[in-house]
Each structure stands twice: as structure tokens, then as C-alpha cells.
């Protein structure tokens, strides 16, 4: 099911698209780049996403789609970190 709002509303506006296009040109030129999440190669023609930090303030670089999209699911289902109390 698609998420509501435009791609720009969701944080994938002109800046994101331009940076992704830059990475796509680099990937085509060199043939493969390491995934910013797992380190394994992403080859020209593979499906990939432009990965960003959890707070969406910066980009990591190209990530396999499976690495990028699985991370959101892992974070969503991760139990909260327990709070340590000191006396």
C-alpha cells in the first residue's frame, strides 16, 4: 500500500533525486559500488536505494534495496532500550 503524500512530502524531493542521479551515474561509470549498509557490491543494473541516516539529515550513499528497506522494519520491531537507574 502506498504511503500518503507526494514523494517530496516524504522527503524525496529535488535534492534527493539529484543526489540519487549523481550516484546512478557513478555506479554506471565504475560498474559497482559497496553498499553503505552491508558493504557488499551493488552492480550497475541492481535495485538500490539512496540510504539516509535515521534522522534523515544526511545520506549514507547507495544501499541494496533489501538492506535499506529491511532496516526500517528492524528498527520498528526492535524492543525499546531499557532505562538504567542509578541510586
pLDDT in tens, 3-57: 677 777 777 789 999 999 999 999 999 999 999 999 999 999 999 999 988 888 8
Total count of domains within the chain: 1
Q: What is the domain range of residue 69?
A: 22-76
At 64 the pLDDT is 95
Q: What pLDDT, on a 0 to 100 scale, did the predictor assign at position 20? A: 95
| pLDDT on residue 12 | 79
Asked whether residue 13 is assigned to any structural domain, the reply reads no
Give the model's pLDDT for residue 87: 58
Q: Where are the alpha helices (DSSP H) in the chain?
A: 14-30, 65-77
The grid coordinates of residue 9 equal 512530502
DSSP assignment, residue 85? Answer: -
Q: How high is the pLDDT of residue 40?
A: 96
Could you tell me if residue 27 is inside a domain?
yes
The distance in angstroms from the start CA to the end CA of the chain is 48
What is the reported pLDDT for 48? Answer: 96
CA angle in degrees (0–180, nearest 5) for 57-30-41: 65
Amino acid at each position: 500500500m502506498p504511503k500518503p503524500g507526494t514523494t517530496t512530502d516524504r522527503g524525496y524531493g529535488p535534492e534527493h533525486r539529484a543526489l540519487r542521479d549523481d550516484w546512478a551515474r557513478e555506479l554506471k561509470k565504475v560498474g559497482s559500488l559497496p553498499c553503505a549498509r552491508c558493504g557488499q557490491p551493488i552492480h550497475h543494473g541492481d535495485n538500490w536505494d539512496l540510504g539516509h541516516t535515521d534522522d534523515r539529515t544526511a545520506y549514507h550513499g547507495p544501499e541494496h534495496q533489501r538492506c535499506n528497506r529491511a532496516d526500517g522494519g528492524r528498527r520498528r520491531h526492535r524492543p525499546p532500550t531499557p532505562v538504567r537507574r542509578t541510586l
